[in-house]
C-alpha cells in the first residue's frame, strides 16, 4: 500500500478538481506516470494511435464542450508528432492543456530532448513547465487557468524527475479561482452600434466562434429580429441560426449564391466574435465599398486586425447584443423589418446551397460530389454532429451536410492542415455520447490520419465517414493543372477504402453512383450503429467554384 503521493499524482488530482474529465493521449515512459495518475483520479483516458490525432481529438472535444480538456504525450517525438494538432488548436484559441512528458531536468543529452518551449511557441501555443516539486502545483494551476480563462492552448512540460518526486504527507486538491464574468462593452460603443443599426437599410449580423462561446445566438437572433438584419456566420460559427429563415448561412468561400448576393448588398455588417478573415470576406470582395463594418470581440488584438473596421467594441458578443437591444428599448425605437421582405426570402430560398442549380457531372464510374453530398445528407438523420478534414473537397461538407447547431460542427481549418478531420470527428463524438458523428474527408487526408480509424471502431462510436475519393491531392491538381504543370506527381492509384475499413471492423460501401447508396439506408434503418465508411469515387475533374476563386 503506497503511503506517499508523487507530484504526478497530486497534479492529476488537481486537474480533476479543476474540472478535467477527459484526456486524449498516447503513452510513453515520460507521460506514463501522469496519465496513470489521471485515470486513478477519475479522468477518462482516450487512447489515440497517433499524437497528432490525440491533439485534434482534444481540440474538437474542447471546442464542443468548453471543458478543460487534456492531451497527454510522450517527450521528444511524442510532442513533435502532436505539433500540427497543437497548431490547429492554438490558432483556434482552443482551451486545451497538453501534458508533455519531458526528459529529466537538465538531461539535454537525452535522445528525447527537444526545447519544448521554443517548439510549441512557434505554433502559437503557450509554454508552461513544472519547474520544481515545490512549484509544480502552482505551475499547473497557472497552466490550467491560462488554458480555460485566456482560451489558450497550453503545453505543460513535465520533466520526469519532477513528476516522480514524493510529496510529504497528504495533498488537498487545489481549486481554480472563480471565473470572471463576461466582458461588458463601453456604453458609447453600444450607442454607436445602436445608431448604426437604426440608420442602416440592409444590416447584416455576422457571427463567429466568439458568438458560439459567448452563447450569443438567442441575443443576436433577437437583435436581428428587432432591427431587420439578416444573419450570417463565419466558417467557425457554422451551425448558428440553423433554423432561422433570415439566415444566409456561411459568409465567404463556402457561401451559397444567396449569401454571396445579399452580403455584398449589406450597408452595415456587424461582426460578433468573428475575425473577418480573407476567407470570410472573399478577400474583401464580399463587402461593399461603402458598407460600414463594425466588430465586437473580447480580444483587443482581433479588432481591425484582418481588415479595417469603422467601429470596434471590445466586449462579449452576448452581453453587447443585449446591451444594444436595451438601448433600442430605452429609446423606444420601433422594430423594423428593413430588407426582411418577401423578395429577400425568395432569394434566400432560391439561392440556398440545397436549391441552387448546377450541372451534374456524374458519369460512368464517378459521382458528382455535390449530388452525392445531398443524397447522403438526406439519408442520414439530422440529429448529428459533423466534422470535416481540409482539402479541395472541404466546401461540400458545410454546404450540403447540414448541422443542427454550432456546437455540432467542427471544421478544423485554422492551420489549413490536411489530416485532422478523423480526429475531429472522434473528439466531437466523444463530446456527444451516443450522437451520430459524420465526417467528410478526402482520400489524401484520410490516409494521413488512418491510424485512428481503429480508435473510432474500438470506442464503438456511431460514425459515418464519407470519403471524397478522387485518388489525388485535388487541391494541387486543379491549381497546378490550370497553371500548366504536369500533375501526375499528385495523382495516385485508386485506394480501396471499403476494404481498409472492413479490415478495421467497420461497415463499408463503395459508391460510384447514387444507386449504390442502399446499404447506407439499411445501416440508418438499423440504428446507424458502429462505424460506416463510404468510399465515394467522385468526379476528379470538377473544380469547386470557391477553389478556383481563392486559388486563381
Ligand atoms: C499537413 C498538410 N500537408 C500538405 C498540405 C497541402 N495540401 C492541401 S490540400 C491537399 C490535398 C489533400 O488531398 P485529399 O485529402 O484527397 O483532398 P482533395 O484536395 O483531393 O479534395 C494537400 C496535400 C496541407 N494543407 N497540409
Ligand atoms: Mg483527394
Substitution candidate for ligand 1 out of 50, 82, 391, 541 with most atoms within 8 A of CB:
391
Query: Collapsing DSSP states into helix, strand and coil, what is residue 154?
Result: strand
Residue closest to 164 by CA, chosen among 6, 370, 401 = 6
Work out which ligand 1 atom sits closest to the CA atom of 389.
15
**Predicted local confidence at residue 130, as pLDDT:** 98
DSSP 366: B
The pick from 85, 369, 444, 470 for probing ligand 1's pocket by mutation, whose C-beta has the most ligand atoms within 8 angstroms, reads 444
Q: Which residues of 1-21 are buried (b: 16+ CB within 10 A; e: fewer)?
A: eeeebbbbbbbbbbbbebebe
Ligand 1: which of 254, 397, 418, 544 to mutate, judged by most atoms within 8 Å of the beta carbon? 418
Give me ligand 1 centre to Cα 391, in Å.
5
Residue 467 CA to ligand 2 centre (angstroms): 9
Cα 234–Cα 260–Cα 350 angle in degrees, nearest 5: 110
Q: What is the DSSP pairing of strand 5-6 with strand 166-167?
A: antiparallel
Asked whether 508 and 530 are in contact (CB, 8 A), the reply is no
Q: Show the ligand 1 pocket: residues with CB < 6 angstroms.
A: 390-393, 416-419, 442-445, 468, 470, 472-476
pTM for this one? Answer: 0.97
Please write down the long-range contacts of 240-247, taking CB distance under 8 Å and 24 or more positions apart.
Answer: 240/207, 240/211, 240/212, 240/405, 240/406, 241/207, 241/217, 242/402, 242/403, 242/404, 242/405, 242/406, 245/345, 245/348, 246/340, 246/344, 246/345, 246/348, 247/348
| Ligand 1: centre distance to CA 475 (Å) | 6
126 CA distance to ligand 1 middle (Å): 27
CA distance 288 to 267: 7
pLDDT tens-place values along the chain, 552 residues long: 456 899 999 999 999 999 999 999 999 999 999 999 999 999 999 999 999 999 999 999 999 999 999 999 999 999 999 999 999 999 999 999 999 999 999 999 999 999 999 999 999 999 999 999 999 999 999 999 999 999 999 999 999 999 999 987 677 888 888 888 999 999 999 999 999 999 999 999 999 999 999 999 999 999 999 999 999 999 999 999 999 999 999 999 899 999 999 999 999 999 999 999 999 999 999 999 999 999 999 999 999 999 999 999 999 999 999 999 999 999 877 888 999 999 999 999 999 999 999 999 999 999 999 999 999 999 999 999 999 999 999 999 999 999 999 999 999 999 999 999 999 999 999 999 999 999 999 999 999 999 999 999 999 999 999 999 999 999 999 999 999 999 999 999 999 999 999 999 999 999 999 999 999 999 999 999 999 999 999 999 999 999 998 888
- Using CA atoms, how far apart are residues 100 and 31, in angstroms rounded to an integer? 7
Which atom of ligand 1 is closest in space to residue 447's alpha carbon? Answer: 15
Sequence-separated (6 or more) residues with CB below 8 Å from residue 454: 49, 504
9 within 8 A of 40, measured Cβ to Cβ: yes
Residue 470 Cα, ligand 2 centroid: separation in angstroms?
5
CA 64 from centroid of its chain's CA atoms: 8
What is the spatial distance between Cα 279 and Cα 32, in angstroms, rounded to a whole number?
A: 41
What's the distance, CA 495 to chain centroid? 28
SS3 283: coil
Return d(Cα 140, Cα 236) in angstroms, integer: 29
Q: Which helix (H) or strand (E) holds 428?
A: helix 421-431
| 140 contacts 15 by C-beta, under 8 angstroms | yes
Residue 346 Ramachandran class (φ > 0 left, ψ -120 to 50 alpha, else beta): alpha
From the CA of 237, how far away is ligand 1's center (Å)?
Answer: 23
Structural contact between residues 397 and 388, judged by C-beta atoms closer than 8 angstroms:
yes
The helix or strand, by DSSP H or E, that contains position 464, with its residue range, turns out to be: strand 463-469
Q: For residues 54 and 86, is the Cβ–Cβ distance under 8 A?
A: no
d(CA 376, CA 342): 31
Tell me, what's the pLDDT at 3? 64
Question: Residues near 257 by Cβ (< 8 Å), separated by ≥ 6?
Answer: 351, 356
Amino acid at each position: 500500500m503506497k503511503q506517499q503521493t508523487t507530484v504526478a499524482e497530486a497534479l492529476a488530482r488537481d486537474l480533476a478538481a479543476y474540472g478535467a474529465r477527459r484526456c486524449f493521449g498516447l503513452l510513453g515512459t515520460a507521460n506514463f506516470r501522469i496519465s496513470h495518475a489521471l485515470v486513478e483520479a477519475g479522468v477518462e483516458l482516450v487512447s489515440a494511435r497517433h499524437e497528432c490525432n490525440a491533439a485534434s481529438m482534444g481540440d474538437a472535444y474542447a471546442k464542443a464542450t468548453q471543458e478543460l480538456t487534456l492531451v497527454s504525450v510522450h517527450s521528444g517525438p511524442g510532442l513533435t508528432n502532436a505539433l500540427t494538432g497543437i497548431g490547429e488548436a492554438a490558432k483556434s484559441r482552443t482551451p486545451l492543456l497538453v501534458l508533455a512528458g519531458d526528459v529529466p531536468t537538465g538531461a539535454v543529452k537525452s535522445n528525447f530532448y527537444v526545447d519544448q518551449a521554443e517548439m510549441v511557441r512557434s505554433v502559437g501555443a503557450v509554454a508552461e513547465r513544472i519547474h520544481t516539486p515545490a512549484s509544480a502545483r502552482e505551475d499547473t494551476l497557472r497552466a490550467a487557468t491560462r488554458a480555460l480563462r485566456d482560451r489558450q492552448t497550453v503545453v505543460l512540460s513535465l520533466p520526469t524527475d519532477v513528476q516522480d518526486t514524493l510529496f510529504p504527507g497528504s495533498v488537498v486538491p487545489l481549486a481554480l479561482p472563480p471565473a470572471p464574468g463576461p466582458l461588458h462593452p463601453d456604453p458609447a460603443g453600444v450607442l454607436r452600434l445602436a445608431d448604426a443599426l437604426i440608420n442602416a437599410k440592409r444590416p447584416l449580423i455576422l457571427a463567429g466562434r466568439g458568438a458560439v462561446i459567448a452563447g450569443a445566438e438567442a441575443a443576436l437572433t433577437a437583435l436581428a429580429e428587432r432591427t431587420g438584419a439578416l444573419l450570417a456566420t463565419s466558417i467557425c460559427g457554422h451551425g448558428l441560426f440553423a433554423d432561422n429563415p433570415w439566415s444566409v448561412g456561411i459568409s465567404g468561400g463556402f457561401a451559397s449564391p444567396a449569401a454571396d448576393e445579399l452580403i455584398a448588398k449589406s450597408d452595415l455588417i456587424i461582426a460578433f466574435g468573428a475575425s473577418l478573415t480573407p476567407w470570410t470576406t472573399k478577400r474583401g470582395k464580399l463587402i461593399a465599398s461603402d458598407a460600414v463594418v463594425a466588430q465586437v470581440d473580447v480580444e483587443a488584438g482581433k479588432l481591425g486586425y484582418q481588415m479595417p473596421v469603422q467601429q470596434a467594441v471590445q466586449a462579449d458578443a452576448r452581453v453587447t447584443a443585449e446591451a444594444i437591444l436595451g438601448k433600442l428599448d430605452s429609446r423606444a425605437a420601433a422594430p423594423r423589418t428593413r430588407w426582411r421582405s418577401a423578395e429577400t426570402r425568395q432569394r434566400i430560398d432560391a439561392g440556398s446551397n440545397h436549391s441552387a442549380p448546377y450541372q451534374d457531372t456524374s458519369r460512368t464510374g464517378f459521382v458528382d460530389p455535390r449530388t452525392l453530398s445531398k443524397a447522403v445528407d438526406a439519408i442520414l438523420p439530422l440529429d448529428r454532429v459533423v466534422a470535416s478534414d481540409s482539402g479541395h473537397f472541404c466546401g461540400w461538407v458545410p454546404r450540403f451536410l447540414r448541422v443542427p447547431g454550432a456546437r455540432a460542427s467542427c471544421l478544423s481549418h485554422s492551420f489549413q492542415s490536411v489530416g485532422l478531420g478523423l480526429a475531429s470527428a472522434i473528439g466531437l463524438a466523444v463530446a456527444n455520447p451516443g450522437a451520430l458523428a459524420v465526417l467528410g474527408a478526402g482520400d489524401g487526408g484520410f490516409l494521413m490520419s488512418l491510424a485512428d480509424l481503429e480508435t473510432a471502431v474500438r470506442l464503438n462510436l456511431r460514425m459515418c465517414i464519407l470519403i471524397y475519393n478522387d485518388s489525388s491531392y485535388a487541391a494541387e491538381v486543379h491549381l497546378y493543372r490550370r497553371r500548366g504543370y504536369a500533375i501526375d506527381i499528385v495523382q495516385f492509384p485508386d485506394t480501396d477504402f471499403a476494404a481498409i475499413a472492413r479490415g478495421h471492423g467497420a461497415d463499408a460501401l463503395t459508391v460510384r453512383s447514387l444507386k449504390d447508396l442502399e446499404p447506407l439506408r439499411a445501416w440508418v434503418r438499423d440504428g446507424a450503429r458502429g462505424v460506416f465508411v463510404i468510399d465515394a469515387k467522385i468526379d476528379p475533374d470538377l473544380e469547386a467554384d470557391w477553389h478556383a476563386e481563392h486559388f486563381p
